[in-house]
Amino acid sequence: MTEDKTILEIKNLKKNFGKFSALKDITFNVHRGEIFGFIGPNGAGKSTTIRVLLGILKKSSGDVTIFGNDVWKDTVEIHKRLSYVPGDVYLWPNLTGGEIIDLFLKMNNNKHSSRTDELIKKFDLDVTKKARTYSKGNRQKVTLIAALSTDAELYIFDEPTSGLDPIMEEVFQQEVIDLKNSGKSILLSSHILSEVERMCDRIGIIREGKIIETGTLDEMRHLTRSQIIVSTKKAYLKLAVTHMCMI
Ligand SMILES: Nc1ncnc2c1ncn2[C@@H]1O[C@H](COP(=O)(O)OP(=O)(O)O)[C@@H](O)[C@H]1O
Ligand SMILES: [Mg+2]
């Protein structure tokens, strides 16, 4: 078992919805103590992969383990050590944000703590309002506050900042960096590379249900370096342009 270094392992994961093959071949690991960015355009298969990891969807084939345990068979054990924010956030419309945060915490055997209050303040959320009055960003704040005030070993966030304004995105990113600095592991999905490249130790790029690249940003910059050679009449000019693009 490679649990020491690897906290999450996906090997040749496939997932079909009827005849449609949403995940064709997903293989990557998340190491203990790192922030792993799971990057790819809309519809690439990020949420489907994460739903398999969370034991919500059953894989068609492949091996998927967290803490060395099978994500489908050992879901209860895994979830005791995991905290996550799903991509589609559903909140009870007639409960207030504060009630829902406490409910999420209770469902995971946690309690409202001073850390919860600190996060409510940082994310500037009015917890007295009913969820039906919340914007997408406020709904995301509710799930983020609950997830971040849970003490876990591994945190999984599925496009958590897509409805947040830039200031709140900064708050979130700082929280994730703090988690990492305290030894936690993080899987963070996004469809915007620039949003996460600053924080991630390694990234995996997914496209049309396949992982097309995994590594550190430096390794990928090397792989995708384009060289443009421009020659002029007077001098010979060589320009090396390094760029990273979402393929
Ligand atoms: N329950 C489902 N039934 C059928 N197709 C699905 C289902 N869930 C996702 N898909 C399809 O699988 C593909 C990957 O979707 P998803 O994992 O949500 O992508 P991402 O999160 O990267 O935007 C898309 O083509 C989507 O339409
Ligand atoms: Mg998604």
Closest CA to 224 of 237, 238, 205, 207: 205
Model confidence band, residue 239 (pLDDT cutoffs 50, 70, 90): very low
- Return the ligand number nearest the Cα of 20: 1
pLDDT digits (tens, 9 = 90+) for 20-72: 999 999 999 999 999 999 999 999 999 999 999 999 999 999 999 999 999 99
Mutation test residue for ligand 1: of 19, 20, 206, the one with most atoms within 8 Å of CB: 20
231 vs 36: CA distance, rounded Å? 41
Q: How far is the CA of 64 from the centre of ligand 1 (A)?
A: 18
Per the prediction, the chain carries an average pLDDT of 89
Average pLDDT score over residue span 120-126: 98
For the CA of 42, the nearest atom of ligand 1: 23
Position 134 scores a pLDDT of 96
Give the C-alpha separation, 41 to 190, whole Å. Answer: 8
Gap from CA of 150 to ligand 2 centroid (Å): 23
- Looking at residue 16, its pLDDT comes to 98
Residue nearest to atom 8 of ligand 1 (CA): 48
Whether pLDDT at 247 is above 60: no
pLDDT number for residue 218 = 83
Q: Is the pTM here over 0.85, yes or no? A: yes
pLDDT at 237 over 50: no
More confident residue, 134 or 245: 134
CA of residue 134 to ligand 1 center, whole Å? 26
Pocket test for ligand 1, best of 24, 48, 88, 210 (most atoms within 8 A of CB): 48
User: What is the model's pLDDT at position 243?
Assistant: 40
**What average pLDDT does the segment 105-132 reach?**
96
147-168 per-position pLDDT tens digit = 999 999 999 999 998 889 999 9
> Residue 118: CB partners within 8 Å, gap ≥ 6?
none
Tens-place pLDDT, residues 194-230: 878 889 999 999 999 999 999 998 887 765 555 555 5
